[in-house]
Amino acid sequence: MPDTPGYDCGTCGSRHEDLPLSYRTRAPVYWSEELAADEGSELTGDLCIIRGEHFFVQGNLDIPLLDAEGSFSWGVWVSLSAANFGRTVSLWETPGREAEPHHFGWLSTELPVYEPSTVNLKTHVHTRPVGEKPLVEVEPTDHPLAVAQRTGMTMADVQRIAEQLLHP
């Protein structure tokens, strides 16, 4: 194995500069560009409202690495009830907000490397200190994403994900 960072891609055969340990999605699966003109809709890097009726927060869904330090992270969107979204927004800049109980949410991101679909998996959204995105915990089921979050993944899994996302 070379001493330089990166990896040899099993799909295209090229050497890629780095092996990303995180991927972030721009918007919930339900967002469309037409909504940008809708006065009841808004999309920021952290929050999303669709037609004043559907509320989302972006968080990190972390998966422990088994053969390296740290974790792999998906930046995902999760729907929240209007009440929980309001509470989240009201505490956005409040120190100590991490003491809040977790909120239930539905995963609102399609992660193309998992089958079946990841959309609408049940989650718990854990608020973290100011400046940190919430932690998203998938309900423990037999879905491959839930299993990975519980049991971890290897760097070979990370490379497989990179190859799939780089060469869709």
Whole-angstrom distance, CA of residue 63 vs CA of residue 41: 31
pTM above 0.75, yes or no: yes
The verdict on residue 5 lying in a domain is no
Whole-angstrom distance, CA of residue 97 vs CA of residue 111: 29
Q: Where in the sequence is the domain holding 81, given as residue range(s)?
A: 22-153
Judge contact between 136 and 56, C-beta under 8 A. no
Provide CB contacts within 8 A for 152, sequence distance 6+: 63, 64, 65, 66
Number of domains in the chain: 1
Does 15 have pLDDT greater than 50? yes
The verdict on residue 164 lying in a domain is no
Secondary element (H or E) of residue 82: helix 82-90
Confidence of residue 5 (pLDDT cuts 50, 70, 90): low
Q: For the segment 89-99, what is each residue's pLDDT rounded down to a tens digit?
A: 999 999 999 99
The verdict on residue 99 lying in a domain is yes
DSSP assigned state of 67? S
Percent residues over pLDDT 90 in the chain: 88
